[in-house]
Amino acid sequence: MKKSAPILPLDHRSRVAAERREKMRLRLLGTAMRIGAEKGPVAISIDDVILGAEVSRGSFYKYFPSVDALIREVATQVANELIQMAEPVVLGINDPAERLSCGIRLVSRIALTQPVVAAFLVQLGWPNVHKPDILLDFARRDLLVGIKLGRFTHMPLKLALNIVSGAVLGAAHCLLDPSTERNFAELSAEAALRALGLPANEAKEISTRPLLDLDLSTSALFRGDMLQIQ
Amino acid sequence: MKKSAPILPLDHRSRVAAERREKMRLRLLGTAMRIGAEKGPVAISIDDVILGAEVSRGSFYKYFPSVDALIREVATQVANELIQMAEPVVLGINDPAERLSCGIRLVSRIALTQPVVAAFLVQLGWPNVHKPDILLDFARRDLLVGIKLGRFTHMPLKLALNIVSGAVLGAAHCLLDPSTERNFAELSAEAALRALGLPANEAKEISTRPLLDLDLSTSALFRGDMLQIQ
Amino acid sequence: MKKSAPILPLDHRSRVAAERREKMRLRLLGTAMRIGAEKGPVAISIDDVILGAEVSRGSFYKYFPSVDALIREVATQVANELIQMAEPVVLGINDPAERLSCGIRLVSRIALTQPVVAAFLVQLGWPNVHKPDILLDFARRDLLVGIKLGRFTHMPLKLALNIVSGAVLGAAHCLLDPSTERNFAELSAEAALRALGLPANEAKEISTRPLLDLDLSTSALFRGDMLQIQ
Amino acid sequence: MKKSAPILPLDHRSRVAAERREKMRLRLLGTAMRIGAEKGPVAISIDDVILGAEVSRGSFYKYFPSVDALIREVATQVANELIQMAEPVVLGINDPAERLSCGIRLVSRIALTQPVVAAFLVQLGWPNVHKPDILLDFARRDLLVGIKLGRFTHMPLKLALNIVSGAVLGAAHCLLDPSTERNFAELSAEAALRALGLPANEAKEISTRPLLDLDLSTSALFRGDMLQIQ
DNA sequence: CATGAATGAGGGTTCATTCAT
DNA sequence: CATGAATGAACCCTCATTCAT
């Protein structure tokens, strides 16, 4: 039994297996995201997922302990990948206002290239300010700095987070509708900066600075989205 | 025979019956609101409702044709009652900025006295800008007027609606946490006015004007909430 | 209390009450028959009946102890009225063959004037030869006599009853379809007589003898049917 | 790796699975038939079926999309199996009269060996002459031919179908009662032939010709019936 | 060990019957 | 006392999870 097995090096075998595992995991997460984008995260059902990902029921439970775990996982995964893609762009900017403006614009504009990702984000709904949230954490530091420096009006951090959340969520929601103005993300960022206390002209200037689109090639999850859309 | 007697009794009987009917309807709506506030509107199940309202399965269907109908009904009912209570206050104000500020403050501050109502509102999530929405409609006219008059920055109506939605939703969400500043509603309204384009000092002045609390006594649904909380 | 009551003679009062009672009973039976004709007797629901008869739920149970009782009652009532109407016509006939032919023709042709009655009969389905059945009993004696006299082939009574049942049920069923030949009842009776053993020419001659239509005016239940059809 | 081994096992595995599937399907159909035989097809409820077949609720829906589908399926399945079993016997006969006589006898006599099947058939009730019916279709051609050839009296096809339906249904019904004459099926077929216009002596002769019993071994559904009865 | 058959709790709806008013 | 509100048993259907093969 198992005649040829010992010939192959064990580390190679396990590496291949781990790769396959990761690929399948992403297939499941991607399918879940697509379904969540359409019907909302709570409506993600195992039947839809295993049908969409062409996986057997039993296999699914090898990757996720429960449907709820999958739902949580896909949410954090989406947030993580968004951050990972936005970070390098924002990294080179010092001004917290511009950093936030860029963040808002970059994430909102996902709706233009990756509607599924944006729809999923919108379906997630209002982030819970009280619980730790990876996307909010991303903005938190800039808001604190901006307020401390007096660049933003003095206000509770929660309110500042609300402003940013609303700007991103609202813009993403609207941009999913093709009839919406193409620069809606910029206008939303501009309004957020005003809400944070920047003068109108400065808010406009910052929000209209040229900004490259995100490089999605690093994201396995979002690349999957693009493939589906083609 | 039976000439005069039945006239009053019948009238009385049907009146009493109608009253009881309405009371039961409100009990069901109130229970549904409470459950929706906790688990989200989509998770409202008939079992939970009839258990909470202490009504039999069969009775439920005498009041609502389906669970879906109940869910829709409770959402519109909550929105309607909010409007009905806010309207008389806002009615005496001409300035669209102040009208909106009052609206945002009044609705957000519901979280302080009627946490269940506010939680339900928050669970409803981001309103769909594209579909007609009774609460958004309430703000729409003021935003249009404010933009046309140049009191607000020129911007797409959708963006203005986003700003107001975000201010209300975010503030209500935060105010549900007892540790949140008591004037959070005012600060949120102020930030919204800034986002709409008002100068910072004017935004602050308008949003801190004295404002009476809503009169909730007219709302059977919300009064029910208070009773439940006691 | 009850000032004027004693003036009226009790027997008059009770007679009027009994009449009203009977009228309502017939309304309920008629409605049940109509519903049973459409959906089958088992599908007669109390809601449909009280809606159709414009009676309150509570009242219904004053007239029938249960829905099942109503269903049984309407079946026997229909059978009884059919017999009552057919009997006077058949009474003057001596030949068992002709008596049966007349019976088959009369009952089948109900479908032409009272489709609801016929549809109900058809929905009742095949009569149970083993249980006492009022309609079968009507035929039973003639079949026994006919067999004993040698006018019919010697055969088990059950078989003879089957022949008659089938002729009536089948003809009624077909005659409900307007495209069916108008003399289908006669042809069905003729075939039944052949099955019972009569020579073909005699079967035809007997089954084509002129036959008056039933007088339905005596039947409260069927008159109701006619009114509905108009 | 895994070169030759999996080929057979997979094949074998899926074959075994398909067999088990088919067995379960038959168990469900058989149970449904049994319940339908007792209470009538419309009264087949999922609870009774899964209890009777000792299957879980969820499993049931893996085999049938709905209870209605099961009810339809069991009716067509029963009809199909009857035809399939009767066909080879009738195939060798040319005379339409004898073909019909055999068909009537064979199907009726099911009541003697497979009372459940017969009871189900009886509960199905009078076949609808207007809708296509697999059992009626079986007789239709012979009747048309017989009438055209002048072997049967000239009559509407519907009437001829009624005669056959009545003969089968009535005989099956009666044969379910153990006290009924054992040759009731033959007598019923004989009467049907007379009704169709054959002379009495010929009807008798044809209907008493020796006839083998059906071979039920090919029918999984009916064999199941027998097992249940043991 | 990947599979998918089986499970059963849970959710939605209907309807005969009772009973306070 | 006629009424119709209230009841709850009985139905149908879905879906997350387990487990034998």
SS (H, E, C) A24-87: HHHHHHHHHHHHHHHHCHHHCCHHHHHHHHCCCHHHHHHHCCCHHHHHHHHHHHHHHHHHHHHH
Q: Which of C125, C166, C180 sits opposite D125 (nearest CB)?
A: C125
Say if residue C67's pLDDT is above 80.
yes
pLDDT at A224: 58
Distance CA C157, CA C199 (A): 20
The number of residues in chain A equals 230
Residue nearest to nucleotide F18 (CA to C1'): A58
Note every long-range contact of A86-92, with CB atoms under 8 Å and residues 24 or more positions apart, other chains counting.
A86/A138, A86/A214, A87/A138, A88/A215, A89/A211, A89/A212, A89/A214
> Which residues of chain B are within 8 Å of residue A173 when distances are taken between CB atoms?
126, 129, 162
Residue D56 CA and nucleotide E9 C1' are separated, in Å, by 12
Per residue, what are the HEC states of A141-167?
HHHHHHHHCCCCCCCCHHHHHHHHHHH
Q: Which residue of B has its CA nearest to A182?
A: B156
Q: What is the pLDDT of residues B124-145, one digit of tens each?
A: 999 988 888 888 988 999 999 9
Give Cβ neighbours of residue A25 (< 8 Å, ≥ 6 apart): A63
Q: Which of C129, C169, C191 sits opposite D126 (nearest CB)?
A: C169
Res. C145 pLDDT band, cuts 50 70 90: very high
Å between C127 CA and nearest CA of chain D: 9
> Which residues of chain B are within 8 Å of residue A169 when distances are taken between CB atoms?
126, 166
The count of other CB atoms within 10 Å of the CB of residue B35 is 24
The number of residues in chain B equals 230
In a domain, D190, yes or no: yes
pTM equals: 0.88
User: Is C197 within 8 Å of D200 when comparing Cβ atoms?
Assistant: yes
| DSSP string over C110-173 | HHHH-HHHHHHHHHH-S--SSS--HHHHHHHHHHHHHHHTTSS----HHHHHHHHHHHHHHHHH
Q: How far is CA C223 from CA A19, C27, C36, C213, C226, in A?
A: 82, 11, 17, 14, 5
pLDDT at D11: 64
Minimum-distance nucleotide, CA of D59 to C1'? E6
Which has the minimum average pLDDT: B21-30, C168-177, C210-219, D122-131?
A: C210-219
> Residues whose CB falls within 7 A of nucleic chain F?
A 45-47, 57-58, 61, 66-68; B 17, 20-21, 24, 54-59, 61-63; C 55-59, 61-62; D 13, 16, 44-48, 57-58, 61, 66-68
Chains that touch B (3 or more CB pairs under 8 A): A
> Which residues of chain B are within 8 Å of residue A153 when distances are taken between CB atoms?
191, 194, 200
A59 touches strand E (CB under 7 A): yes
Tokens of B169: 């939703």
Q: Residue B65 burial by CB count (10 A; 0-12/13-18/19+): exposed, middle or buried? A: exposed
Å between C126 CA and nearest CA of chain D: 7
Closest C-alpha among D202, D183, D203 to residue D193: D203
3-state SS class at A16: helix
Give D176's DSSP letter: T
User: Is B153 within 8 Å of A200 when comparing Cβ atoms?
Assistant: yes
In a domain, D5, yes or no: no
pLDDT at B177: 94
Distance CA A44, CA A50 (A): 11
* Residue numbers 6-35 of B with CB closer than 7 A to any atom of strand E: 13, 16
In a domain, B38, yes or no: no
Q: Which of D167, D174, D192 sits opposite C129 (nearest CB)?
A: D174
In a domain, C29, yes or no: no
Q: What is the pLDDT of residues C85-118, one digit of tens each?
A: 888 899 889 999 999 999 999 999 999 999 999 9
* Residue numbers 9-68 of D with CB closer than 7 A to any atom of strand E: 17, 20-21, 24, 54-59, 61-62
The number of residues in chain C equals 230
H helices of D41-198, where? 46-53, 57-63, 67-91, 96-113, 115-124, 134-148, 157-175, 184-196
Which has the minimum average pLDDT: A2-11, A19-28, B220-229, C28-37?
A: A2-11
Q: Which residue of A has its CA nearest to B43?
A: A42
Minimum-distance nucleotide, CA of C62 to C1'? F2
In a domain, A10, yes or no: no
Taking the alpha carbons at both ends of chain B, their separation in whole angstroms is 51
Distance CA B133, CA B75 (A): 11
Determine the average pLDDT of the residues in A89-98.
93
Provide the number of CB pairs (under 8 Å) joining chain C to chain D. 111
Residue nearest to nucleotide E1 (CA to C1'): A59
Nucleotides of F under 7 A from a protein CB: 2-21
Distance CA C183, CA A99 (A): 93
- Residue spans of chain D under pLDDT 50: 1-8, 226-230
Number of domains in chain D: 1
* Chains A and B touch, contact meaning at least 3 pairs of CB atoms under 8 angstroms apart: yes
Residue C63 CA and nucleotide E18 C1' are separated, in Å, by 15
Average pLDDT, chain C: 89
pLDDT at A4: 47
The pLDDT averaged over each successive group of 10 residues in chain B (230 residues) is 46 75 92 95 96 95 96 94 90 95 95 94 90 88 96 97 97 96 97 98 96 75 54
Q: Which residue of D has its CA nearest to C39?
A: D42
pLDDT at A6: 53
Domain that holds residue A145: 72-224
Q: Are A129 and A136 in contact (CB under 8 A)?
A: yes
Number of separate helices (H) and strands (E) present in chain A: 11, 0
Q: Are A134 and A52 in contact (CB under 8 A)?
A: no
Q: What is the pLDDT of residues A218-230, one digit of tens each?
A: 777 877 554 443 3
Q: How far is CA D98 from CA B35, B161, D152, in A?
A: 72, 84, 12
In a domain, D41, yes or no: no
Q: Which of B126, B155, B200 sits opposite A187 (nearest CB)?
A: B155
Q: Are A165 and B167 in contact (CB under 8 A)?
A: no
User: Is D195 within 8 Å of C197 when comparing Cβ atoms?
Assistant: no
What CATH number did the domain enclosing B84 receive?
1.10.357.10
Distance CA B119, CA C106 (A): 72
In a domain, A66, yes or no: no
Taking the alpha carbons at both ends of chain A, their separation in whole angstroms is 45
H helices of chain B, where? 7-39, 46-52, 57-63, 67-91, 96-113, 115-124, 134-148, 157-175, 184-196, 200-207, 220-229
Determine the average pLDDT of the residues in C196-207.
97
pLDDT at D224: 59
Q: Which of C169, C171, C195 sits opposite D191 (nearest CB)?
A: C195
pLDDT at C29: 95
* Chains D and B touch, contact meaning at least 3 pairs of CB atoms under 8 angstroms apart: no
In a domain, B105, yes or no: yes
Q: Are D118 and D175 in contact (CB under 8 A)?
A: yes
* C6 or A115, greater pLDDT: A115
User: Is B156 within 8 Å of A184 when comparing Cβ atoms?
Assistant: yes
Q: Which of A40, A122, A130 sits opposite B177 (nearest CB)?
A: A130
Å between C32 CA and nearest CA of chain D: 19
| DSSP string over D35-60 | HHHHH-GGG--HHHHHHHHT--HHHH
A195 touches strand E (CB under 7 A): no
For tokens 């929905």, what's the residue? C123
pLDDT at B93: 94
Closest C-alpha among A224, A227, A216, A220 to residue A109: A216
Q: Which of A155, A191, A197 sits opposite B163 (nearest CB)?
A: A191
User: Is B122 within 8 Å of A122 when comparing Cβ atoms?
Assistant: no
Q: Which residue of B has its CA nearest to A158?
A: B174
To the nearest 10 degrees (0 to 180), the angle between helices D157-175 and C157-175 is 140
Distance CA D121, CA D125 (A): 7
Q: Which residue of A has its CA nearest to B41?
A: A42
Closest C-alpha among C119, C27, C26, C85 to residue C216: C85
Nucleotides of E under 7 A from a protein CB: 2-21
Q: Which string of b and e fits D9-37 if b means at least 16 CB within 10 Å?
A: eeeeeeeeeeeeeeebbbbbbbbbbbbbb
User: Is A122 within 8 Å of B126 when comparing Cβ atoms?
Assistant: yes
Q: What is the pLDDT of residues D66-97, one digit of tens each?
A: 999 999 999 999 999 999 888 899 989 999 99
Average pLDDT, chain A: 89
Residue D68 CA and nucleotide F9 C1' are separated, in Å, by 22
